[in-house]
Chains A and B, each alone.
Chain A
């Protein structure tokens, strides 16, 4: 019995096949099903404007690219070295050079006109009806709703983090800044990026066509955990938004005496309240507990946890407070059902205890942060991010029980 001779590909055949596999791979990479930050799937007016611009621009760029690469490829192949004599050398082709200068200029002018128009339209904020102050810091986003006539009227400020809640089909004015370094606020399905710069207030109009949840993340490198500085926008219909506002402004209720959550309240006051504010929380002497993150954290702020369990994420929207199954339900909900699912917050049966427990056990191990006090000479001892608190498992149990009631 003779062995079947092994098939050997020529170099050219091997190159062709490798190129084909690479091209198919590249093409397939653009076919992700789960792409919540897809700029090609706009869900708001401004995002639609960007989308309407990028289609023709990328089409023109693509055609030009294909023509240029084809001509270069043809020239390389046609005039490859086969031992032929070098042809007569000439210098300059004025007509061709002029044509090749004018043509790109005309193409660029054709692209520039709609681009400038779109840029100006994106900067319009005159028609906004609701204000949200957005403040970036390493590595999470804070959203506060100032006292205003907009947003259906807000008489007391609302403050939250990680997830911004807005009324759907309403032009929202984002007034953004930063507490430490430059960040960039970007919800790809709703709008383009806007840098958030310390000492400046930058404005941006945002609008979601219909209720739903939209992902985003910091788009300006801002340090060690830049990749973990995410945010989400939850758009609610007017009735749901009113319900959300009312819930955010409800008075604080202490856990029932004798419960694990009540022990958690004391643990929270002892270990967490120096940085994290829970509005209305009082200590055993009845004194209001006021956090002072400006004495502890480099940015001067830590997330307000008054209504932690009304949002679905924590730690810069990097981890979910709800289970994956529940997350899928929320993210895939129809616009009509979304509000109910979102407003339900974190219910016991959907509570993702695992990640929050790990976070409380050792947050710097879970999310890279400059939280080691022995290496903080440049910040005068102030931490960047949440430090390791050396909590016991019993304390973590108490805190989980307490935080689960923060709705």
Chain B
């Protein structure tokens, strides 16, 4: 006959199967469905094994073992795992009708509760010796429980701490917060160090209080939200501003807030975007190098040693291409690319910030339109010059043809 354990597993397998069907049909989520189908399969296999082994139950018509075998022993203790199992089931249902992450948490809780419950139920019937049963349970479960619990605990602490960090609004606040925290740790450490024999309970309790404090602070900070992170000005933002709000842009220029030209056509310094430009250079692998030489001409070097035609630089269409611009002149200069008029009718230009003498900057270009279809390019050596062009604002001799097939 079916034992209680078998019935539980059969019920769980049935439930998982129904959940898989319901989730698969209503949510159309591949991963969730795979997880539930996997759970149903595992539970079905466990059910079959349990039924086959009769849940390790003894024959009722065998009088000898009634008093002595493990199955005849009273249950060891109250177990929290059925509670976690039930909680996981509820969370899954909530997740099904709300958010996928909640559903995943429910599945994790269900699996964890089920696994722990299974191991505990098995261990309590492993022998008639309770102490040995507890030991065998710990030997099986602790290698999983301790690392997982530690990872979850550390994860919560780190997450809570990161919320606090993101909430702190300024460097001053951060400095104060860290100073106070460091002082607390120092004082507490000093107090414990000063005692000849510190009790383990006291140390554990103090750490627990600290952990709770961090989690509480993280919760409060998380609910309050992150500080406002300012958007720093870039050359592309200046181009966008000039294109989309020409009147306000001209107004700002008239008030002396910035030069009047497009940033990519200007040799002058713009606020913020040109500030400390060379300190923001990023290393890009296998980039094409474009050099403004002392004689005021542009030279370039592409990855690979084969000779290229110095009159033009060809890059693939619709693919980000990295350039490193190096300024070898005595004045601050920026590298600009004139890509004509874009689909919205705006001037399509890209440029680096101003780069000081011997400084470098990266420019990444993605050009979606072939250069033979370029329109409105004004930066070539002549008015009717075809293709796109690299140029240096303020240096008439610095022109480089950019070809996109």
Q: Do A and B bind each other?
A: yes
Chain A interface (Cβ < 8 Å from any Cβ of B): 125-126, 128-131, 133, 135, 142, 144, 146-150, 154-155, 157-159, 173, 175, 177, 179, 198-203, 277, 279, 288, 290, 292-295, 299-301, 304
Query: Would A300 and B319 be within 8 Å (CB), given that A147-B312, A288-B373 are in contact?
Result: yes
Most buried by B among A128, A129, A290: A290
Q: How many A-B residue pairs have CB under 8 A?
A: 105
> Quick check: A148 and B306 within 8 Å, CB to CB?
yes
Minimum CB–CB distance for B371 against chain A, Å: 8
Query: Would A135 and B405 be within 8 Å (CB), given that A203-B304, A290-B370, A294-B368 are in contact?
Result: no
Minimum CB–CB distance for B385 against chain A, Å: 15
Minimum CB–CB distance for B373 against chain A, Å: 4
Kindly state whether residue B307 has any CB partner on chain A within 8 Å: yes
Which residues of B lie under 8 Å from residue A288 when comparing CB positions? Answer: 372-373
How far apart are the CA atoms of A295 and B366 in the complex, in Å? 13
Query: Would A125 and B304 be within 8 Å (CB), given that A199-B285, A199-B322 are in contact?
Result: yes
Query: Would A199 and B370 be within 8 Å (CB), given that A144-B314, A147-B309, A175-B302 are in contact?
Result: no
Minimum CB–CB distance for A99 against chain B, Å: 39
Query: Would A200 and B306 be within 8 Å (CB), given that A142-B316, A288-B373 are in contact?
Result: no
How far apart are the CA atoms of A175 and B372 in the complex, in Å? 23
Residue on B nearest A202 in the bound complex, by CB: B286
> Quick check: A301 and B322 within 8 Å, CB to CB?
no
Most buried by A among B286, B304, B308: B304
> B304, B313, B404: which contacts A175 (Cβ < 8 A)?
B304
18 sample A-B contacts, Cβ–Cβ < 8 Å, listed by A number: A125-B304, A128-B304, A128-B305, A130-B306, A131-B308, A149-B308, A155-B309, A175-B302, A199-B284, A199-B322, A201-B286, A203-B303, A290-B369, A292-B343, A294-B318, A294-B368, A295-B368, A300-B368
Minimum CB–CB distance for B20 against chain A, Å: 21
Which residues of A lie under 8 Å from residue B308 when comparing CB positions? Answer: 131, 146-150
Which residues of A lie under 8 Å from residue B311 when comparing CB positions? Answer: 147
> Quick check: B305 and A126 within 8 Å, CB to CB?
yes
How far apart are the CA atoms of A25 and B381 in the complex, in Å? 69
Which residues of B lie under 8 Å from residue A159 when comparing CB positions? Answer: 317, 405
How far apart are the CA atoms of A195 and B366 in the complex, in Å? 21
Which residues of B lie under 8 Å from residue A201 when comparing CB positions? Answer: 285-286, 303-304
Kindly state whether residue B112 has any CB partner on chain A within 8 Å: no
How far apart are the CA atoms of A159 and B318 in the complex, in Å? 13
Per-position binary interface string of chain B over residues 307-344, scored 1 when its CB falls under 8 Å from any chain A CB and 0 otherwise: 11101111011111010000000000000000000010
Residue on B nearest A203 in the bound complex, by CB: B304
Kindly state whether residue B12 has any CB partner on chain A within 8 Å: no
Which residues of B lie under 8 Å from residue A158 when comparing CB positions? Answer: 405
Minimum CB–CB distance for B135 against chain A, Å: 31
Minimum CB–CB distance for B227 against chain A, Å: 30
How far apart are the CA atoms of A159 and B316 in the complex, in Å? 9
Query: Would A200 and B286 be within 8 Å (CB), given that A131-B308, A159-B405, A173-B304 are in contact?
Result: yes
> B285, B303, B403: which contacts A157 (Cβ < 8 A)?
B403
Residue on B nearest A146 in the bound complex, by CB: B314
Which residues of A lie under 8 Å from residue B314 when comparing CB positions? Answer: 133, 144, 146-148, 157
